Structure formats: C-alpha cells, structure tokens
Amino acid sequence: MTATLNAAATSARTAPAAPARRRLGVGGVIRRVVLIVFGLLWLMPVYLLIANAAKTSDQYGSVGVWQPVGLGGLVENMKQAWNVGQLGDGLLSTAIYSIVSPALAVIIGAAAGYAIVALRLRHGFAWFVVIFSATVVPLQMILMPLFRWSVQLELYDKRIGMIIVYTVLTIPFAAFVMRNFFSGIAREIFEAAGVDGASPMRIFWRIYLPMSISALAAVFVLQATLIWNDLLIGLTLTRSDDVRPVMTALVAMKSTYGGSTMQVVLAGGLLVSLPTVVLFLLTQRTFTKGMALGQF
C-alpha cells in the first residue's frame, strides 16, 4: 500500500513537469542550432587561415582556398616564418607592451574611478567626461602628433615610448569600466572603513581593488588583446626589429619587392595569434564574470 501511494505521488509530481520539459527542449534545440550556425560562421576565417597556412608552395596556387590538404606543411611554414620574419624579437616586445601597459592602465583607471565615485571628487562627472572623451577621437587622427611627440622627447623607436603611448591610450576605457563597477559598491563600505581609521589610500588598495579583481582582469584581457593586435602604432613609432611589435614584423614579411610567400605569412599570422587565444582560454571564467560585474 505504501509503495502504491509513493508511486502515485511520484507520478503526480512528475506528470505536470513533462510539458515544461518538452517546451524547454524545443527552446534548447533552437538555441543550440543558432549558436552552432554563428559558431561555424565565426570559425570560417580560422579554417581558411589554417587550411592555406598548411599548404606548400606548389599547392597554394594550384589548390582552391577552401580545399584542405592536411597539416603536413604547417610546421615547416611556421618555422620559416619564425626564422625569416624574425618574429622572436617582435613577440618579446609585444609581450612586454601587452603586460606592462594594461597593468598600468587598469591601476590608473581604477584610481580615477575610485576618486570620482568613492572620494566624490569635485566636478567628478566632468573629469570622467574629459577622460572618456579620449576614446572619441579616431586613432588615425593622432598618429602624426604622436610621431612628432615621440621624436621631440627622444622616445621614437624605444620600448619605453611604446609603453607610455599604449598606457595612455588604454586608460580611458579602464576608467570607464572601473567607475561603473565602483558605482555598484555600497557607500557604507567606504564610510565604515573610514570610521575604523583607514585612510582613503588604504581603503583603495585593501578593500576596493580586491573587490574588483574580476573587473580588473576583464579590462586587462581586453586591453592586452588590443595592444597585441595593434599595427598602426607599431608602424608609426618603431623601425628596429627589437622594438617593433609582432604585427609590424608580420606585415614586413610580405613586401612589394619580394619577401615570404603567402602561406608562410599566413602561418606566421597563425603563430602570433596563439598567445591571445591561450590568454582568453585561461581567463575565460574571470573574464566573463568581470564583463557582467563591470557593466560593459
């Protein structure tokens, strides 16, 4: 008798949920189909890059761009791109720029956001508008002033000059995100820490920054990727192999007066893109959380 009652209760609990599961299943199928379609569209350029970077010199001109030939020539093309294109120096320089500049930018941007929100800086919104207005001007319009500035200050073709430029260019976005993030922190936290005797600087370093690790990481990843993929700044402010970014070195592999073959250049492009992919995969969870909390 008890077993019968339990079975009836179980079926009564599960019966109404069946239509909901069916509706959820249809919606889930639709979402998966849409995501698969968009995923395939996004992967098409990646497929073309890998398929053509793996071709030999004989295959590149005679085989269609969509036709795969295996991965037999990929490693050899990467080796040739590394040796001929001198990508090693470019990778080292770009790694320095992509680590130091975003790190400085997120700290300075967080300090600006903290001063505007927590310290209630006088005319704080006006200062925020001034800082963020730097993103309104297209980068192409400031290339010539940047070039003249770097020459006058003897920072042209120097790593320290590149670090300064990249830091200045990435601060406005960092300040924008961190101001939005700090606006979501209760004012009572700042006031309670002040009552306990903590100075504003101590509150910033010991409370606000640890609470914003996810947002800081998200901004860092975005800005590091932006710097890694930069071409215009490298072309304008550098000329030496040990200073220019890797994208500039990659472009130099294919010149009007000869240079590497196209499949070698494509293999070099695939090679220099791997670090950013690895960075995103390693920080994917923190990046996603930071995007949600930072209110991008």
Residue 216's domain comprises 78-294
Residue 111 confidence (pLDDT):
92
Q: Is residue 171 part of a domain?
A: yes
Residue 85 pLDDT: 65
pLDDT at 102 over 90: yes
- What's the chain's length in residues? 296
Q: For residue 223, what is the domain's CATH number?
A: 1.10.3720.10
- Looking at residue 96, its pLDDT comes to 94
Write down the pLDDT at residue 256.
45
Q: Judge contact between 293 and 215, C-beta under 8 A.
A: yes
pLDDT averaged over every residue in the chain:
81
In a domain, 26, yes or no: no
Decide if pLDDT at 277 tops 80. Answer: yes
Q: Tell me if 235 is assigned to some domain.
A: yes
pLDDT band (50, 70, 90) for residue 50: confident
Evaluate the CA torsion angle 91, 92, 95, 101 in order and state its sign. negative
70 lies in some domain: no
List CB contacts of 216: < 8 A, sequence separation 6 or more: 106, 110, 178, 209, 290
The reported pLDDT for the residue numbered 198 is 87
What pLDDT shows up at residue 259?
59
Measured between alpha carbons, how far is 290 from 100 in angstroms, rounded to an integer?
20
Above 70 in pLDDT, residue 168?
Answer: yes
What is the pLDDT at residue 255?
Answer: 59
Q: Assess if residue 21 is contained within a domain.
A: no
175-193: burial string, b at 16+ Cβ within 10 Å, e else: bbbbbbbbeebeeeebeeb
> 196 pLDDT band (50/70/90 cuts)?
confident
Residue % of the chain over a pLDDT of 90 = 23
What total of structural domains would you count in the chain?
1
pLDDT for 32 beyond 80: yes
The verdict on residue 28 lying in a domain is: no
pLDDT score recorded for residue 46:
86
What mean pLDDT comes out for the span 12-18? Answer: 45
Would you say residue 246 has pLDDT above 70?
yes
- Let me know if residue 67 belongs to a domain: no
Is 52 inside a domain boundary? no
Amino acid 291: pLDDT: 63
What's residue 170's pLDDT? 92
